[in-house]
Amino acid sequence: MSSPPVTGLAEPGYDPLDDSTSWWGGQKIRSRPTMPPDPAAIRRQRAWRTAITEVLAAPEQIRVVFQPIADLARGTVAGYETLARIDSPVPGVGDRLAPDQWFGAAEENGLGPALEGVVITRALSRLGELPPNAFLTVNVSPHLLGSPELDEAFGSVTDLSRVVVELTEHVAFGDLESITAQTHRLRAAGALIAVDDAGSGYAGLQQILELRPHLVKLDRALVAGADRDPARAALAELLGQFAGRLDAWLLAEGIETVGELATFCRMGVPLGQGWLLGRPADEMVPLADEVRSRILAETSRVAATEAIASVMLSKVAVTTADRVDAGTSTEPTVVVDAGGSPVAMLAPDPRDGGFRQLPVSLRVLASDAAEDVLMRALTREAAHRFDPVVCTDGWGQVIGLVLMDELTRHVVGARDTAHS
């Protein structure tokens, strides 16, 4: 059967918006009619298109605000994320609408590249206001990279060396190969690349592996309540280790409580962002004095209690159950199963100078804070409260033991130093 002629689409009576009419073999065919368009939806779309077109014609209606990104080791500003605010009303839709609504409507009307391009241009025009040793983050929808509008926006400045391009799309990136090629162009111009919402399911590990970003932003869902949820904190820590293997910075986004700040300072996460640290402002302001003091107080506490690895007894034998011989042990020994996970240990017995077999009643990461480990150890049942603590790496493999007397002396001494 021959295909319908192309000219058939222009025949009288053909309406491209009426899908009850189709052409096949040059003949007009009637199909089941569909529901008519919603007049209210059409009016909203027209209102959006008019409002966006007016904003594009007068871009001064777009305010660019700056939210500080804190260096969690030094208590200073490491950079600023630029965010767009459009206060113009949309008749029939509402006033002071969220930025996501504007960008979503622009995309629906085919104006997404134009609106993002204008926002990026306005953000980059403020580069001269950056404090020394700080960067400026601009948000970009990955699928728009390489569009003429975004190319023109990034070409509006001669140097991108202090610019971080943050890929923010909350859906699958699509053509990852094409996006990777576009990020290579930006890198060649000096820009750094960031991936947003790591751990949310959208910014998958495969995408991070392909893009090799310089900065990985933790999803807010992993940050919120991390101080009260060990599983959430553990996943954030694993993503931090993954980012470290890629030589990328980890940024905890959405820090809103002192407990969350303390958790990510203890983990050694280098960068933080959130309302606790600073809200978006019209200017690039430094961290407030009380915020800086709070960060330095947390980092001082971490330094005082430091990681459990500092008091870990690393000269430890590791063996399997079929090779255990308590009578010939000359050093502490950890018994592991076939997968390398600790199941028992032979620890020094202060009563006779020999060794006795004990269960593994507490297993911790070598990066855990000594004070936290002491508190967890002391909550064990009385019979094993003062047994040694097994230290493992992120993969669960044994790397050492911590004796309780050494741990207690260390924590008490650190507290005395911190208060002196």
Q: What are the b/e assignments for 62-80, b being 16+ CB within 10 Å?
A: bebbbbbbbbbbebbbbbb
Overall average pLDDT of the 275-288 stretch: 96
**First-to-last CA distance in the chain?**
92
* pLDDT at 319 > cutoff 80: yes
Q: Please count the other Cβ atoms lying within 10 Å of the Cβ belonging to residue 265.
A: 25
Please name the amino acid found at residue 154: F
**pLDDT tens profile 145-175:** 999 999 999 999 999 999 999 998 644 555 7
* pLDDT at 236 > cutoff 70: yes
Q: How confident is the model at residue 330 (pLDDT cuts 50, 70, 90)?
A: low
Give, in order, the Cα–Cα distances in Å from 298 to each of 28, 253, 263, 288, 396: 74, 17, 9, 16, 28
317 vs 199: CA distance, rounded Å? 36
| pLDDT for the residue 56 | 95
The fold of 41-304 is TIM Barrel (3.20.20)
- Domain 309-419 class? alpha beta
The domain limits of the chain are: 1-32, 41-304, 309-419
Name the pTM for this structure: 0.67
Phi, psi (degrees; rounded to nearest 5) at 332: -55, 140
Please name the amino acid found at residue 334: V
Given a contact cutoff of 8 angstroms between Cβ atoms, the answer to whether 255 and 273 are in contact is yes
* pLDDT at 190 > cutoff 60: yes
| pLDDT for the residue 7 | 38
Given a contact cutoff of 8 angstroms between Cβ atoms, the answer to whether 305 and 370 are in contact is yes
| pLDDT for the residue 150 | 97
